[in-house]
Structure 1
C-alpha cells in the first residue's frame, strides 16, 4: 500500500498552517488540503491541555501564558515531522504574530550559503489565513455543534487577530467561499503537490 505521506529530504518539506478565528472553516479546509496533497493533517485543538479546554468551554479567554505550552507543542510537532521529511498542514487559530513566530521556530529558517553565493532556504512555515466578516462566522458558529469554544469569545478573537505581516510567507483567502473552493485556491496559490485523483484533477 502506498504511503499517503511519503518522506522526502527535510529541506523539501512544506509546513502549512491554516489560520483564522473559530468557525472560519480552518479545520475543514486543512483536511481538504491534506486530501488533495501529500501533506499530513493535524488539528491544533488536539494539542491543548485539558485546562485550556475547560477554560474555553466556560467562556474564559486564554492568556498568552495558557497558550505558550500549546504553541511549543505544535512547534515541536512541526520540527519532528520536518526532521522525518514529512510535510504537514495544521489547522490552528494562530491569531497573533507572536504565536505564528513560535510555530515558525519549529523549523529552520532561511540562511546564507557564502560558498554558493546565494540564499539557501529550508522550508519554513507558510500561512493560509481564512479571513472574512464576523457576521458570516457567527452564522456558521450558530449552526456548529460539539466544539468546546464558547460563542461569546468570537468578538474577542476578532479583537485579538493580527493580520499577516508583509514579511510573513503566506496568503489570505476569502472565507465566504465553500471549503472545497478555499482548499483548491490554497493548493494552487501555494503550488502544493497534488496526489493523483485529487478533486481538481478528476
Structure 2
C-alpha cells in the first residue's frame, strides 16, 4: 500500500514471485469512471473508491476461501479502506511503501502510459493518506531496492 509512485506494482510483483503466489494489481480493477477521473486530473473521493475496494475485498475473500495466498497492490490510503479490505481476510498483512514527496514526484514524472500523473494528483493522495501504525503495517522506505524491500517484508512474515 502507498500513494501513487511508491512502487506498489513493482514490489507487489516481486513479492508474489518470491513467495510463489498470485499477484493482483488493484489498478486493473478500477471502474472506467475512476480511470477517466484520474486521467483528467480529478482525484477520487471515498464514494469513487468504495466499489473498487469492495471488488478487491471480494478477490481477497475468494483466495481465502481456496486457502490460497495472494499479493495485492492497492493504495489503501485510509484506515477505513484497509478495514474494508480486511473484510476479505481479517489476517490481511499490509506493507506500507513510504517515501518523500520529492521521491514520489520524481517517479511519477518518469511514468509513461499510466492514467495517474501529476503534482495535484499526488498531493491529493498525500492529503488523504492516513499512515498506518506498526500495529497495522510493516513500513519500508522506497529508497531501498525492490528486492531488499521484498526480502525485508518476507522476513517480517516469519514468526520469531
Deviations 1:94-148 (A, max 9, x none): 01001000000112x4xxxxxxxxxxxxxx1110000110101111111111110
2:28 is matched with which residue?
A: 46
Does the Cα contact within 8 Å between 1:44 and 1:91 map onto a contact in 2?
yes
Q: What TM-score results when the alignment is normalised by the length of structure 2?
A: 0.94
Instruction: Please say if 1:24 is aligned against 2:6.
Output: yes
Partner of 1:148: 115
Which runs of structure 1 show a deviation greater than 4 angstroms over 4 or more consecutive aligned residues?
A: none
Structure 1: give runs of 5+ residues left out of the alignment. Answer: 1-18, 110-123, 193-202
Aligned with residue 154 of structure 2, among 187, 192, 196 = 187
Which residue among 49, 53, 57 is the counterpart of 2:39?
A: 57
Give the aligned CA root-mean-square deviation in angstroms. Answer: 1.3
Q: Match of 2:125? A: 157
**How many angstroms apart in 2 are the aligned matches of 1:34 and 1:46?**
16
More helix by percentage = 2
Structure 2 gaps of 5+ residues are none
Secondary structure of 1:125's counterpart equals: coil
User: What is the number of residues matched between the two proteins?
Assistant: 158
8 Å CA contact retained: 1:58, 1:150: no
Larger-gyration structure (1/2) = 1
TM-score, L = length of structure 1: 0.75
Distance 1:165 1:174 in 2: 14
Q: Does the 8 Å contact 2:5/2:107 carry over to 1?
A: yes
